[in-house]
Chain A
Amino acid sequence: MRIVILAPGVYSETSCAVAVQLAESGYVPSGALALSTVNWQTLLRKIGQTGLREVMRYGTAKLVLSRPAQAGKLFNPYLQSFLSSDVLFRNLQQVSRYYDFPLTSCRSQNDVTAIEQLKDWNPDLLIFTGGNLLREEVLAIPRLGVLNVHLGLLPEVRGMNSPEWSLLQNVPVGITIHFMDAGIDTGPIVGRYELPDRGGCLSLVDLRNRLIAFGIAKLVEAVAALDRQAARPIPQSRADRKEQFFVMHEWLQARAAERLASNLRATAQWVAQA
């Protein structure tokens, strides 16, 4: 099966982990298309999303420091096992060189050169690990479709900040693997899985990191199932599509974190009593 990875940047740990896991499972990507690293709009968005201090910390660790001790640290520790089988991969360039697949960069995954490149690779499956909202022209390129891992259970929790909304809406925390369509998280569902050990999550960041790692493992299983033609994607009904969640204000995020902490305390109590 010809698989192409769409990445939000060459330094995306998630994209690297997806590429490595696919390659290790026998599905070496036919190519990867990453957004340009230095993109001032993305930079401003990231500053708005995580704050200037976090962006500077991330940038410094990724771009400036290259000592092995620094390089050994991952932002998502749960990806350690995915990324360091023989060598530790710090970026998608290293992964593409190691497994020998082409990597190109683009300003937007919807622009003409990106579309031409994707058509040239002629993929059966695109795997979306981040980037732009994809136009229908891109969605129509792969034979099977564009696969995405959503960090929430669909159709209950569509949109942004899904782990946090799941906590506030009392929906089990989990991931959904689905094909993308023109809507937001409205495409056919390949599989949905609850996170097995939510009680042990220490913080929202920890929860998100665990979900990403869990999602990558399930994604590789889904790709194998699609390859064997054993997966049957289930379309979402129109009624399921109507509600969407948006970026959560930090006050509500703090309440979601409190709820997670109370779960952790309850689990610890239960374990102590048992």
Chain B
Amino acid sequence: MKETSKRFDDRAAMAIFAKGAIDAATLLSAPERIVPLVRQMCRDKARLTLEQRHLYSYSKTCRDSRDALYAAMHWIIEGQRPDGGIAAYYSLLSGYAESYPEVTGYIVPTLYDFENVIGDGWAKAAAERATAWLLTLQMPTGAFPAGLAGTSAGPSVFNTGQILFGLSRAYAETHRSEILNAARRAGDWLISSQDANGAWSGPASYQGRSHTYYSMVAWALADLSRHCEDDRYAIAAIRHLDWALTHFQPSGWIDGINLQGHPNYLHFIAYAIQGVLECGVLCGRSDAVEHAATTARVLLRKFETNKFLCGSYDDDFSSGQRFTCVTGNAQMSCVWLRLYLETDDVRYLNAALKLNEFIKRLMPRAGRGMAGGIPGSYPIWGRYQPLRYISWGAKFFADALMLEQRAKNSFESIETEALACAS
């Protein structure tokens, strides 16, 4: 077993090295990217050297949240390719990547949410283009493929689940029957691929193994059930939720993230929490919300005391790596804000406000492919998606900023009610 794992690690390392070599060769063919690359690396190095993190860090507003939201959404729409899909990332070495079906799928709800903020049709048009492209990718089985556009990959449980978010939301916004049919077919395929114990571990699962962060898929099924009023999807979601909850440890650690050749990136830990929390809320499972809150509180304490969440954690949060996974930070902000809205515990809102300030500071204000973008890692050369501005990072940060506004409105409405009662 150890031998297999070692071989897998070696292969993963070789693949990363080969990808790096190709990217470096691409950089030589586009020398105009050298200056932004060097500038960003110097900026992060200087920040790392000079920055003094302390208990008061990030407690002041450095950039208006609305301004940051517009920047992130502008970055996302700038990354929309002619086919309608959203580019996976902007690499400082090789520029924009191909469209990424998975991310395009779950950016659709973000685009519609942003449309509700601005209301000028700009984001709605982008969401409709993205949905039209996604419909062309669905396989006869109802599944959606893994990987980037044009890679002719096989079906993927996780990507199908993530795309399902977009289809469900697009149906809710447009009431078009072909979108609902596509969503139902995707949901039916997910149910048919589910193991008896509620997990997904077949060939369409990443590395052929079950993963607790597939709770995101359960959330997508619960969401579909709500939109099309079909309990079969909610039942499948609850089966997975029950399986995932058995992996939560009393310490808050979540077993079964199960990625061979990769550390437990914060991105995946946050996925597992988000999926369980949101699925728990939709299915009325307070035990799931409490489990998610336990893990969220461990990370909240780590952030508040160190003003830093590690890019990845060893089992049981025993140690962490020195870079941070910025996407994971944005996801944790979403988790804390949702927990605030569910529990009215202002400490979650407080931590999320500060975490959003931290992320805003990492958002470049200028540069093609960079302005408004969210880096994979901080520093930019960190292990998670190095030297890239990633579309799912921008998506989660935009979600966090819109949730921040919702939470602030909620806080103020409670305040107004309390004051009215007092007077």
CA distance A49 to B52 in the complex (A): 12
Q: With CB as the reference atom, state the residue of chain B lying closest to A265.
A: B423
Chain A contacts of B357 at CB under 8 A? 249
Counting chain B CB atoms within 10 Å of each CB, the highest count among A41, A48, A169, A246 belongs to A246
For the complex, count residues of B whose C-beta is within 8 A of A: 27
Taking the complex as formed, is A135 at the interface, i.e. its CB lies under 8 A from any CB of chain B? no
Taking the complex as formed, is B196 at the interface, i.e. its CB lies under 8 A from any CB of chain A? no
A251→B52 contact, CB < 8 A: no
Chain A contacts of B347 at CB under 8 A? 245-246
Q: With CB as the reference atom, state the residue of chain B lying closest to A262.
A: B419
Taking the complex as formed, is A168 at the interface, i.e. its CB lies under 8 A from any CB of chain B? yes
Task: Decide if the interface of chain A is mainly helix, strand, loop or mixed.
Answer: helix
Taking the complex as formed, is B422 at the interface, i.e. its CB lies under 8 A from any CB of chain A? yes
What's the nearest-Cβ distance from chain A to residue B177, in Å? Answer: 44
Within 8 A of B (CB), among A2-46: 41, 44-45
Q: With CB as the reference atom, state the residue of chain A lying closest to B60.
A: A250
Within 8 A of B (CB), among A221-269: 244-252, 255, 258-259, 262, 266
Within 8 A of A (CB), among B338-356: 346-347, 349-351, 353-354
Q: Which of B54, B351, B411 contacts A255 (CB 8 A)?
A: B411
Chain B contacts of A259 at CB under 8 A? 415, 419
Contact with A along B364-375 (1 / 0, CB 8 A): 000000000000
Counting chain A CB atoms within 10 Å of each CB, the highest count among B55, B61, B305, B350 belongs to B350
Q: How large is the interface on A (under 10, 10 to 19, 20 to 34, 35 or more residues)?
A: 20 to 34
Contact with B along A143-170 (1 / 0, CB 8 A): 0000000000000000010000000110
Given A252-B346, A262-B419, residue A247 in contact with residue B52 (CB < 8 A): no
Chain B contacts of A252 at CB under 8 A? 346, 349-350, 353
Taking the complex as formed, is B59 at the interface, i.e. its CB lies under 8 A from any CB of chain A? yes
CA distance A44 to B354 in the complex (A): 18
Contact with A along B49-79 (1 / 0, CB 8 A): 0001011111111000000000000000000
Chain A contacts of B354 at CB under 8 A? 247, 249
Which residue numbers of A lie inside 8 Å of B, CB to CB? 41, 44-45, 48-49, 51, 160, 168-169, 244-252, 255, 258-259, 262, 266
